[in-house]
Amino acid sequence: MHAVCSVRAVENALQIQIPDNARLIRNIIEAAQYVQDHVIHFYHLHALDWVDIVSALEADPADTADLAQSISDWPKSSADYFAGVQNRLKAFVETGQLGLFANAYWGHPAYALPPAANLMAVAHYLEALDWQKEIIKIHALLGGKNPHLQTYLVGGMAVPLDPDSQSAINAHRIAQLKRWAAQAHDFVAQVYIPDLLAVASFYKEWAGLGGGVGNYLAYGDYPQDTSGNPSSLWLPRGVIFDKQIGNPPQALDHREIREYVTHSWYSYAEGDGTAKHPWEGETRPNYTGPKPPYEFLNTDEKYSWLKAPRYQDTPMEVGPLARMLVAYASGHERVRELVHQVLDHLDVGPEALFSTLGRVAARGIETLVVAEQLSVWIDELAANISRGDLAIHNGERWHPSTWPAEAEGWGSTEAPRGALGHWVRIKGGKIVNYQAVVPSTWNGSPRDAREQRGPYEAALIDTPVADPERPVEILRTIHSFDPCMACAVHIVNRHGREITRVKVA
Amino acid sequence: MDPSSPGLEGHLAQRGITRRQFLRFCGLMAATLALPARYTTRIAEALSTAPRIPLVWLEFQDCAGNTESFLRATDPTVVDIVLEVLSVNYHETIMAPAGQMAEKSLQDTVEQFPGQYIAIVEGAIPTKDGGVYCTIGGRTAIEIVREVCRNALVTIAVGACAWDGGWPAASPNPTGAVGVKDAVPGLKNLINMPGCPMNVANLTAVIVHYLTFGELPATDSMGRPLFAYGHIIHNYCPRRGHFDAGRFVEEWGDEGHRLGWCLYKMGCKGPQTYSNCPSVQWNEGTNWPVGAGHGCIGCFAPRFWDTMSPFYERLPNVEGFGVEASANRVGLGIVGGVTAAFAAHGVVSAFRARRHPLAAHEEEGPPVQTDGGD
Ligand code: SF4
């Protein structure tokens, strides 16, 4: 995601328009990323906050089969199949080495699923691990490898197209892409979405918890043409304040973005109460925290390595929920249809969207919409190729000799976990400033100069915690944002303490 | 450890995986490790009886790219590894517990299995300012990595960052980031698997080698396993014939690009990079960067962000390239370059000085692939 964002920033600075095929290849890669990432998030990074693995051992596989067959046509749903999964799990538990599953909160009273549903979720946890490594081969084909694709270029993509060559994307490779796209879609439609709805129906109280700041920002993504015009974005761009989804979202102007470091371990030349647009941004570390090892972090002072981005001085949530709300308010038909279906299925009103459960549901809705669209873009690429349009790169500004003496630009994308922006200033053929504002700084930001809380912090307020020593409720809300894992341990610890303190006070 | 565990083969049998398929996997592992085929049986025996060794996976200044790579493991898949081959006791990204309970899983393993667990390290370790740039649960990365790795049976540093600091250590290295070998001086039983990220096919092979022979595979002077880092990409590249014949891609999307010609002129670092990418490839052998149409960026090589960029500038040229003999000289000149880079990382200027005049107009490559994380 950083790769596409960085090339877009430079393309914006140098005013380069990419060929249509490059646009489509980028869309296909990104769509595959969404589908794979969201499914991994649901099953492997978030499910165990809702699913009790130990309880799955007590399930009657016949009950699980009944449940699974009642919600989906997925073929792997027999009692024998679930019995096999359960046996495997039993054999694993009997070794006494619980590995990744040791020391979790099994048996916690906040777990609400019956054993049959827990066993179904465990089976799909394992299936999803096998599935994700298959469908991500779309990236290997178009990017050389996953993770860390290598074919992004300023001006296009290094992916040759040629129906008559074995060394380019040809009919055979289009067919491979189509097969993986179908595999991706089927799992989402037949496993992920039914599981999501089944699990959510046991946790409806979470439709009233974990809301947060109530302001949402999406840069939008998946251009439908190469104009660079925001109106071409298939997932629309926009800003929503105070949960107002009844009207179209406000237009987004990136110049309204400012970052604070008041409570962040950085300093600004003009004082830490000031805010800076990324083009003027500074990244000068200024650690003032306790000397490690430490137990306590004083959050009255600076307390985070994340800066605090604000839009019009307001904290904004980014991510699948923000994107789906902006799409909904913009009148995106398929998104509106699915949002209504999910609300009806769970028998909750639209206010349920602004919650932990709303965040989890929005991620599922988005995965399905994107999985449906994936094969559309593959077809469009194939149609271009068969028309003889093989262009993949605009090389007019490839050589630095063609650049203006000075240029500035910004590139945006919607990473699976939220809005990502890169800002670049170029002078004399060299970068003079480069700033990235990443989704987890929006969502996980510390307080700003006006002491406004960021989305994670705001979302945790009023969260009931049954057992402060085992705060699974905190994990549910924090994980619902899909925090960047590089920061996760730090953040969870910090808020774990903060909530305990709130309760005591 | 539980010696009565039925081993991988027994578990695979439960899942309907036949002995033939199992042996095919063992044969594949022998091939990846560049072992003669007769070792297949020995690998099979070892895997059928091996106890589940505890494993902890540490993440520091990282992007979880090696974790993502690990999740793409095949035969055994990550499911097999997690449930049956090893006991993965700690891995921040994918473990169920969080916070203090997660840290307990790490401490339990270090205390209960001293000298008996595998430590995998992903990410660089910042050393500047007392290590404040990466702390977990209030402890610095450097404190954690020293404690965990010094008590481990073996340590595997995965990815460029855990090897030589990688991207966090790229000039000007603001946090004083280093890899495991420098963070834990004198560490025995350390194997380095650089790459951005490492290829999980190679990690699986290292683990299989260890389970089979009770020791790590042979390494080069930089601690990298020879089976994976013993050959220059350029010498095994399927496009080498085009290089020798002087058929080069000149522009992205031109006829040569569509026909799979050599990417040398587009900046390919294959002539300078030691890796088995061309043979093992990625994502179950689906493809690799050169196969997709982009030059190698040298991510398996020392300090590659500094020594291999700008990525689109061609490697220092030798006269008359396109001829077999001079192609080998490209390789030789480059080995010298890498050694210098490793010692002083002043290789970029060395390259500039030796650049072919034809490449002069590419003096400043476009600043792509730049990551400004904060
Ligand atoms: S220069 Fe690169 S593409 Fe050309 S033969 Fe060598 S490794 Fe292959």
Domain harbouring B23, CATH code: 3.40.50.700
Is residue A84 very low, low, confident or very high in pLDDT (cuts 50, 70, 90)?
very high
For chain A, how far is it from start to end, CA to CA, in angstroms?
Answer: 42
Please determine, for residue B126, whether its predicted confidence score (pLDDT) is greater than 60. yes
| B27, B44 Cβ separation under 8 angstroms | no
Please determine, for residue A182, whether its predicted confidence score (pLDDT) is greater than 90. yes
B251: nearest CB among A136, A395, A438: A395
User: In Å, how far is B214's CA from the nearest CA of chain A?
Assistant: 21
Closest CA to B239 of B271, B263, B258: B263
Torsion angle of the four alpha carbons B87, B92, B96, B99, in this order, in degrees rounded to the nearest 10? 130
Q: Which residues of B121-157 are buried (b: 16+ CB within 10 A; e: fewer)?
A: bbbbbbbeeebbbbbbbbbbbbebbbebbbbbbbbbb
How far apart, in whole angstroms, are the C-alpha atoms of residue B45 and residue B56?
25
Is residue B337 very low, low, confident or very high in pLDDT (cuts 50, 70, 90)?
very low
Question: Residues 6 or more apart from B221 whose CB is under 8 A from it?
Answer: none
Is residue B346 very low, low, confident or very high in pLDDT (cuts 50, 70, 90)?
very low
Task: Mark which of B166, B195, B229 sits at the end of a domain.
Answer: B229
Which of A203-217, A219-233, A445-459, B19-33 has the lowest average pLDDT?
B19-33
User: In Å, how far is B136's CA from the nearest CA of chain A?
Assistant: 6
Q: Is residue B37 part of a domain?
A: yes
Q: Does A432 touch chain B (CB under 8 A)?
A: no
Which of A264-268, A392-396, B1-5 has the lowest average pLDDT?
B1-5
CA distances from B2 to A188, B49, B51 (A): 38, 11, 6
- Taking the mean position of all CA atoms in its chain, how far away is CA A291? 33
How far apart, in whole angstroms, are the C-alpha atoms of residue A264 and residue A446?
7
User: In Å, how far is A322's CA from the nearest CA of chain B?
Assistant: 22
Task: Answer yes or no: is the C-beta of B315 below 6 A from any ligand 1 atom.
Answer: no
* Same domain (yes/no): B267, B129: no
Please determine, for residue A135, whether its predicted confidence score (pLDDT) is greater than 60. yes
Give the sign of the dihedral formed by CA A185, CA A186, CA A188, CA A190. Answer: positive
Q: What would the mean pLDDT of A359-369 be, rounded to a whole number?
A: 98
Please determine, for residue A197, whether its predicted confidence score (pLDDT) is greater than 70. yes
Is residue B348 very low, low, confident or very high in pLDDT (cuts 50, 70, 90)?
very low
For residue B339, the number of C-alpha atoms closer than 13 Å in the C-beta half-sphere is 7
Is residue A193 very low, low, confident or very high in pLDDT (cuts 50, 70, 90)?
very high
- Helices assigned H by DSSP within chain B: 7-14, 19-32, 39-49, 65-71, 78-80, 99-112, 141-150, 159-164, 180-183, 200-213, 226-229, 233-236, 240-245, 255-258, 277-280, 289-292, 304-307, 324-344, 347-354
Torsion angle of the four alpha carbons A448, A451, A457, A458, in this order, in degrees rounded to the nearest 10? -120
A88: nearest CB among B14, B196, B283: B14
Q: What would the mean pLDDT of A457-486 be, rounded to a whole number?
A: 89
* Same domain (yes/no): B270, B348: yes
Task: Answer yes or no: is the C-beta of B161 below 6 A from any ligand 1 atom.
Answer: no
Question: Residues 6 or more apart from B53 whose CB is under 8 A from it?
Answer: B1, B86, B87, B116, B117, B118, B153, B211
Q: What would the mean pLDDT of B182-196 be, rounded to a whole number?
A: 96
B258: nearest CB among A136, A167, A400: A167
Closest CA to B175 of A305, A1, A494, A421: A305
pLDDT tens-place string over residues B295-327: 999 999 999 999 999 999 988 753 335 444 444
Question: Residues 6 or more apart from A116 whose CB is under 8 A from it?
Answer: A59, A60, A63, A64, A66, A67
* Same domain (yes/no): B264, B312: yes
pLDDT tens-place string over residues A387-409: 999 999 999 999 999 999 999 99
Task: Answer yes or no: is the C-beta of B268 below 6 A from any ligand 1 atom.
Answer: yes
Best A78, A103, A106, A490 residue to mutate vs chain B (most B CBs within 10 Å): A103
Q: What average pLDDT does the structure give for chain A?
A: 94
How far apart, in whole angstroms, are the C-alpha atoms of residue A81 and residue A79?
5
How far apart, in whole angstroms, are the C-alpha atoms of residue B331 and residue B327?
7
| A135, A180 Cβ separation under 8 angstroms | yes
Supply the pLDDT for residue B352. Answer: 33
How far apart, in whole angstroms, are the C-alpha atoms of residue A103 and residue A98?
9
CA of A285 from ligand 1 middle (Å) equals 41
Residues of chain B contacting residue A305, judged by C-beta atoms under 8 Å apart: 133, 374
Supply the pLDDT for residue B50. Answer: 66
Please determine, for residue A215, whether its predicted confidence score (pLDDT) is greater than 70. yes
- Helices assigned H by DSSP within A136-215: 137-143, 171-187, 193-200
Question: Residues 6 or more apart from A300 whose CB is under 8 A from it?
Answer: none
A212: left (phi over 0), alpha (psi -120 to 50) or beta: left
- Per cent of chain B over pLDDT 70 is 79
Q: Is residue B1 part of a domain?
A: no
Is residue B214 very low, low, confident or very high in pLDDT (cuts 50, 70, 90)?
confident
User: In Å, how far is B195's CA from the nearest CA of chain A?
Assistant: 10
Q: Is residue B372 part of a domain?
A: no
How far apart, in whole angstroms, are the C-alpha atoms of residue A196 and residue A263?
37
| A223, A233 Cβ separation under 8 angstroms | yes
Q: At residue A185, what are phi and psi to the nearest 5 degrees? A: -65, -45
Which of A489-498, B91-100, B266-275 has the lowest average pLDDT?
A489-498
| A245, A330 Cβ separation under 8 angstroms | no
Would strands B53-59 and B86-91 be described as parallel, antiparallel, or unpaired? parallel
Whether residues A88 and B11 touch (CB distance < 8 A) is answered with yes
Q: Is residue B28 part of a domain?
A: yes
Task: Mark which of B166, B199, B229 sits at the end of a domain.
Answer: B229
A436: nearest CB among B71, B99, B374: B374
How far apart, in whole angstroms, are the C-alpha atoms of residue A480 and residue A460?
12
Q: Does A279 touch chain B (CB under 8 A)?
A: no
Task: Answer yes or no: is the C-beta of B270 below 6 A from any ligand 1 atom.
Answer: yes
Residues of chain A contacting residue B137, judged by C-beta atoms under 8 Å apart: 489, 493
| A424, A433 Cβ separation under 8 angstroms | yes
Task: Answer yes or no: is the C-beta of B233 below 6 A from any ligand 1 atom.
Answer: yes
**Whose C-alpha lies nearest to ligand 1, atom 5?**
B240
Task: Mark which of B229, B253, B271 sits at the end of a domain.
Answer: B229
Instruction: Name the CATH code of domain A2-251+317-440 (choices 3.20.20.70, 1.10.645.10, 1.10.287.1080, 3.30.360.10).
Output: 1.10.645.10
* Same domain (yes/no): B224, B295: no
Please determine, for residue B354, whether its predicted confidence score (pLDDT) is greater than 50. no
Please determine, for residue B5, whether its predicted confidence score (pLDDT) is greater than 50. no
Whether residues A88 and B82 touch (CB distance < 8 A) is answered with no
Work out which ligand 1 atom sits closest to the CA atom of B269: 2
Helices first, then strands: H and E counts in chain B: 19, 9
Q: What would the mean pLDDT of A12-24 be, rounded to a whole number?
A: 98
Supply the pLDDT for residue B231. Answer: 95
* Same domain (yes/no): B200, B240: no
Q: Does A501 touch chain B (CB under 8 A)?
A: no
Whether residues B87 and A97 touch (CB distance < 8 A) is answered with yes
* Same domain (yes/no): B224, B238: no
A406-415 sheet: strands from edge to edge? A406-415, A418-427, A430-437
Alpha-carbon Rg for chain A, nearest whole angstrom, is 23
Q: What average pLDDT does the structure give for chain B?
A: 82
Number of domains in chain B: 2
Is residue B15 very low, low, confident or very high in pLDDT (cuts 50, 70, 90)?
low
Task: Answer yes or no: is the C-beta of B262 below 6 A from any ligand 1 atom.
Answer: yes
Supply the pLDDT for residue B6. Answer: 54
A144: nearest CB among B174, B266, B292: B292
Best A97, A287, A297, A469 residue to mutate vs chain B (most B CBs within 10 Å): A97
Whether residues B367 and A430 touch (CB distance < 8 A) is answered with yes
Q: Is residue B264 part of a domain?
A: yes
Among B231, B233, B247, B317, which is best to mutate for testing ligand 1, by the most ligand atoms less than 8 A from CB?
Answer: B233
Supply the pLDDT for residue B373. Answer: 32
Supply the pLDDT for residue A498. Answer: 38
Best A150, A403, A430 residue to mutate vs chain B (most B CBs within 10 Å): A150
Supply the pLDDT for residue B13. Answer: 67
* Same domain (yes/no): B171, B244: no
Is residue A125 very low, low, confident or very high in pLDDT (cuts 50, 70, 90)?
very high
CA angle B332, B333, B335 (to 5 degrees): 65
CB contacts < 8 A, A to B, total 282
Q: Is residue B89 part of a domain?
A: yes
Please determine, for residue B11, whether its predicted confidence score (pLDDT) is greater than 50. yes
pLDDT tens-place string over residues B42-101: 888 877 766 688 999 999 999 999 999 999 988 777 777 777 778 899 998 889 988 888
Supply the pLDDT for residue B8. Answer: 65
How far apart, in whole angstroms, are the C-alpha atoms of residue A361 and residue A342?
8
Task: Answer yes or no: is the C-beta of B266 below 6 A from any ligand 1 atom.
Answer: no
Whether residues B283 and A145 touch (CB distance < 8 A) is answered with yes
DSSP per-residue codes, A347-412: T--GGGGSSHHHHHHHHHHHHHHHHHHHHHHHHHHHHHHHTT----B--TT-SGGGS-SEEEEEEE
How far apart, in whole angstroms, are the C-alpha atoms of residue A241 and residue A217?
9
Q: At residue A274, what are phi and psi to the nearest 5 degrees? A: -85, 165
How far apart, in whole angstroms, are the C-alpha atoms of residue A498 and residue B13?
49
Q: Is residue B2 part of a domain?
A: no
Q: Does A130 touch chain B (CB under 8 A)?
A: yes
Place of tokens 């137990």: A295
Task: Answer yes or no: is the C-beta of B240 below 6 A from any ligand 1 atom.
Answer: yes
Place of tokens 């030789």: B332
| B93, B109 Cβ separation under 8 angstroms | no
Supply the pLDDT for residue B318. Answer: 33
* Same domain (yes/no): B146, B169: yes
Strand (E) or helix (H) holding A157: strand A156-157
Q: Which amino acid is at B311?
A: F
Whether residues A294 and B196 touch (CB distance < 8 A) is answered with no
How far apart, in whole angstroms, are the C-alpha atoms of residue B316 and residue B308?
11
* Same domain (yes/no): B49, B150: yes
Supply the pLDDT for residue B16. Answer: 62
Please determine, for residue B213, whether its predicted confidence score (pLDDT) is greater than 70. yes
Please determine, for residue B331, whether its predicted confidence score (pLDDT) is greater than 70. no
Whether residues B135 and A441 touch (CB distance < 8 A) is answered with no
Whether residues A141 and B252 touch (CB distance < 8 A) is answered with no
How far apart, in whole angstroms, are the C-alpha atoms of residue A437 and residue A414?
12
**Whose C-alpha lies nearest to ligand 1, atom 6?**
B234
Q: Is residue B147 part of a domain?
A: yes
Give the sign of the dihedral formed by CA A341, CA A346, CA A351, CA A356. Answer: negative
Among B290, B294, B299, B313, which is best to mutate for testing ligand 1, by the most ligand atoms less than 8 A from CB?
Answer: B290
Task: Answer yes or no: is the C-beta of B289 below 6 A from any ligand 1 atom.
Answer: no
The DSSP output letter for A45 is I
Among B243, B247, B324, B328, which is best to mutate for testing ligand 1, by the most ligand atoms less than 8 A from CB?
Answer: B243
How far apart, in whole angstroms, are the C-alpha atoms of residue B47 and residue B26?
9
> Which tokens go with A334?
């398929």
- Per cent of chain A over pLDDT 90 is 91
Supply the pLDDT for residue B41. Answer: 85
Closest CA to A59 of A126, A129, A122: A122
Q: Does A90 touch chain B (CB under 8 A)?
A: no
Task: Answer yes or no: is the C-beta of B271 below 6 A from any ligand 1 atom.
Answer: yes
Place of tokens 């990690």: B203
Domain of B184, in residue numbers: 7-229
Work out which ligand 1 atom sits closest to the CA atom of B233: 7
